[in-house]
């Protein structure tokens, strides 16, 4: 196993320098990649929340006028329903949104009777 010639030494030194730079670059990239999952999970959470909020704000039910909601709520009043419900419409309707609450509170027929439920 003869020692390398001067030309081979220069070539090997260049290969060693390139390899050293490549190792340092790979170590840096690996360190960055190891931090990426947390960052990506955080970004995914933000994007998912934005998507949910956007879909909720764009939902067609939000375009109904107060008059239409009022008529729908009247149909949900205890006097119009043929079956007893455990969750009474005035209470559940009024918890959906601020707009629904204002319309439900203004619909006096929703609040004009009391229904009691006695399980057998």
Domain ranges for the chain: 6-58, 61-111
**The predicted structure's pLDDT at residue 92:** 81
Q: Based on the number of CB atoms within 10 Å of its own CB, is 24 exposed (0-12), middle (13-18) or buried (19 or more)?
A: exposed
**The predicted structure's pLDDT at residue 25:** 93
Q: Is residue 86 very low, low, confident or very high in pLDDT (cuts 50, 70, 90)?
A: low
Q: Is residue 83 very low, low, confident or very high in pLDDT (cuts 50, 70, 90)?
A: low
Q: What is the 3-state secondary structure (H, E, C) of 16-63?
A: HHHHHHHHHHHHHHHHHHHHHHHHHHHHHHHHHHHHHHHHHHHCHHHH
Residue 68 structure tokens: 């239409």
Stated pTM of the model: 0.49
- Average pLDDT, stretch 16-45? 89
Residue 89 in contact with residue 81, Cβ under 8 Å?
yes
**The predicted structure's pLDDT at residue 75:** 83
Determine the Cα–Cα distance for residues 19 and 15; give it in Å rounded to an integer. 6
Residue 62 structure tokens: 């939000």
């Amino acid at each position: 196993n003869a020692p390398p010639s001067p030309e081979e030494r220069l070539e090997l030194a260049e290969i060693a320098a390139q390899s050293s730079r490549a190792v340092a670059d790979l170590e840096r990239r690996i360190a960055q990649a190891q931090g990426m999952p947390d960052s990506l999970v955080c970004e995914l959470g933000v994007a998912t929340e934005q998507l949910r909020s956007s879909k909720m704000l764009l939902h067609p039910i939000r375009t109904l006028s107060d008059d239409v909601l009022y008529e729908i709520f009247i149909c949900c009043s205890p006097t119009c329903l043929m079956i007893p419900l455990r969750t009474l419409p005035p209470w559940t309707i009024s918890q959906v949104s601020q707009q629904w609450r204002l319309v439900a509170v203004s619909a006096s027929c929703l609040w004009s009777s009391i229904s009691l439920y006695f399980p057998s």
